[in-house]
Amino acid sequence: MLIGGNKEKVIARMRTATERGDLNCKVETDDPVLSGEEREALVRHYLDNYKTFGYRFCNVCARALTDTATRWLNRNTGIEGLENIKDIHGGAIVTSNHFSPLDNTAVRKAMNQAGYRRLFIVSQETNLAMKGWIGFLMNHEDIIPLVNHSEYLHKYFGPMIRERLRCGDVILIYPEQEMWFHYRKPRPPRRGAYYYAAVNHVPIISCFVEIRDLPKKENDEFYKTRYVMHILKPIYPDPAKNDRENSQEMMWKDYQQKVAAYEQAYGETLTYDFKTDDIAGWISSERDAR
């Protein structure tokens, strides 16, 4: 299932970004654009609403809707490597490549099979401004808004992460930062996910989603695809190292694992030279010409 309209402009921006080596930049063209005041108001409303009965009621509804959607959307999704995390029974940070608004459902399916009832997701605060059913989920599902502001990170974000980990939950943090639509390759991570794993002394559940093209068309622009979720070896902080050292080492190990998973899944060495097949399912005139 695809979300959104024509992706030609998005793919063109991805091509340009790879050419200049900017692999963590925003490429989507329709994301909400908000002022600082609007961002602050969104998060303030979310925090005010978070502890209310109304939020708890809507949260139950949102989770039920998400669980149903997860089962439907991932009825053909394969899960490999569950045995790698059989010894993890408490809180953990999950990392995965980010290529779709719905790729978190593949992570959710895997974590459900691993025995976790809930998956919390760190999401940029601008997503709280989305409309319709996606907006409802963003505002009432198990979302932890991320605001790039030191006071918010210290006063609200860090404690929310700590609370969920202490409750034994798993939290999905996308280390690639921005979503690149149907992009197959793992991109270099940012350090945030690994910092919060290090300071809270929890492991990283390292994941990589492989995207396989199917012969049937989804629309005029894309073929249908299916996912294979690869759960890789967990990465633990070293008690002999400080938080900064741990976060950097865990980040590097995670990236190496994702690169290895990509190379094994697709049978090629990872480079960031752009080619049309980097976009899963894309019906490109360039591809058809070859």
One digit per residue, the tens of pLDDT, for the chain of length 290 reads 455 567 899 999 999 999 999 999 999 987 777 777 888 888 888 999 988 999 999 999 999 999 999 999 999 999 999 999 999 999 999 999 999 999 999 999 999 999 999 999 999 998 898 888 888 999 999 999 998 888 999 999 999 999 999 999 999 999 999 999 999 999 999 999 999 999 999 999 999 999 999 999 998 899 999 999 999 999 999 999 999 999 999 999 999 999 999 999 999 999 999 999 999 999 976 554 44
**Gyration radius (Cα) of the chain, Å:** 19
Task: Report the distance separating Cα 94 and Cα 71, nearest Å.
Answer: 20
pLDDT at 289: 42
Task: Report the distance separating Cα 28 and Cα 5, nearest Å.
Answer: 11
pLDDT at 290: 40
pLDDT at 36: 74
pLDDT at 2: 54
Task: Report the distance separating Cα 157 and Cα 151, nearest Å.
Answer: 9
CA dihedral over 253, 255, 258, 260, signed as positive or negative? negative
Note the pTM of the prediction, 2 decimals: 0.94
- 8 A C-beta contact, residue 142 and residue 118: yes
Other beta carbons less than 10 A from residue 135's beta carbon: 14
pLDDT at 206: 98
Task: Report the distance separating Cα 28 and Cα 17, nearest Å.
Answer: 12
